[in-house]
Amino acid sequence: MTDGTAGPARRLEWQLAEVRDIVVETPRVKSLLTHVTGWRGHLPGQHVDIRLTAEDGYQAQRSYSIASPPEDELIELTVVQVDNGEVSAYLHGELRRGDRFELRGPIGGYFVWTTSSGGPLQLICAGSGVAPLMAMLRHRDRRAARGPALLLYSSRSLEEVIYREELETMARRDRDLRVVYTLTSKQPEGWTGYRRRIDQAMLAESCFPPEANPRSFVCGPTPFVESASRLLVELGHDPLSIKTERFGPTGG
C-alpha cells in the first residue's frame, strides 16, 4: 500500500521559507515561490504545513500542496483565496516578496508519483486540485523518459484554469501528454471542448482504458473527487490504482 516510501525518519523541523516571487495565476489564485534553507527535497504530490505568527503571538497552521517539481530550487505553493480565510487572506493581501514564514515538510508518501512509478499517468482534477498534479507533470516534463499522460481538468471557465500557458506549452512539445479541459459554466466563443461536469461518458472518452493500468490521481473538492473516483471504479479501474486527495470546503 505504501509505494512511495517517503516517510521521514527524523522529526520534521520547522524551517524558514522566504518568498522570492509571487505569481498571479487567476483573480483568486496566487503561487508563492519560496526559498527554503536546507530543503531536503520532495516527491511530486507531497504537501507542506506552513505556520504564521501574528504580532500578538497568535499562530495558525495550514497545509498546501507543493506545485513545483523536485528538480526546481524554489518551492511553489499555490494558494486560493478562501472567503473569510484568515491564512489565505493574509497570503493574498499582505504577503510581499522577501517576507518569511515557517514551513515544514515534505508530508505524505501516498499521493505521489515519479517517473519510476511507471504506468500511464492519469490526472483528473477540478479547480485548485491541479496543484499537486502540476508537480507530477512538471517532474515528468523535466525527465527525458516520458510515458503517456493525461490531465483532465474541470474548471468553471478558461480564465480560471491555473498554469494554463505552461500546460499548453508542455502539451505542444510533448505528444505523449494530453491536456483536456472541461469548462463547466463559461466557455469562450467557438469552444469545441467539453462544457459539462465530469461524467462517465467523458471519462470513457478521455481516460486510458483499465487494461493499460494507468496510475490515477484525482484531486479537487470532495463532491468532485467522490464522483470522479466512483466513475473510474464503475469503468473498471482497480480501486487500489486510484489515489485521491480532497479539498474540503474549509481550508481558510
Partner 1 sequence: MDDPPISRGFKSRQGQTPSKRLPPGQYATADFPVLSAGPTPHLRLDDWSLSLEHGGSLLGTWSWAQFEALPQTTIAADIHCVTKWSKLGTTWQGVTFDDLLRAAGLQQPAAPYVMAHCEGGYTTNLAVADLIGGKGAVVTRYAGSPIEPVHGGPARLFVPHLYFWKSAKWLRRLSFMQANEPGFWESSGYHIRGDPWREERYDGD
What residue ranges bind partner 1 (CB under 8 A)? 1-2, 4-16, 49, 51-56, 58-63, 84, 86-87, 89-90, 93-95, 99-102, 107-111, 222, 226, 229-230, 232-233, 239-240, 242-244, 246, 248-250, 252
C-beta closer to partner 1: residue 181 or 247: 247
Give the nearest distance from C-beta 187 to partner 1 in angstroms: 29
Of 153, 154, 62, 146, the residue nearest 102 (C-alpha): 62
Considering the complex, what minimum distance in angstroms separates the CB of residue 181 from partner 1?
23
Nearer residue to partner 1 within complex by CB, 67 or 91: 91
Nine-digit cell string for 116: 519510476
- Residue closer to partner 1, measured from CB, 48 or 134: 48
Name the minimum Å distance from CB 2 to partner 1.
Answer: 5
Taking the C-alpha atoms of residue 19 and residue 98, their distance in angstroms, rounded to an integer, is 5
Residue 38, helix vs strand vs coil: coil
Beta strands (DSSP E) in the chain are 15-26, 29-36, 47-53, 59-65, 75-80, 100-107, 121-126, 149-155, 177-183, 215-221, 242-247
Measured from the CB atom, the residue of 17 and 202 that comes closer to partner 1 is 17
Shortest distance, CB of residue 250 to partner 1, whole angstroms? 5
What is the secondary structure of 118-172 as a DSSP string? -S-EEEEEEGGGHHHHHHHHHHHHHSS----EEEEEEESSGGG-TTHHHHHHHHH
Shortest reach from residue 168's CB to partner 1, in Å: 30
Residue with smaller CB distance to partner 1, 58 or 165: 58
**CA-based nearest residue to 202, from 100, 130, 126:** 126
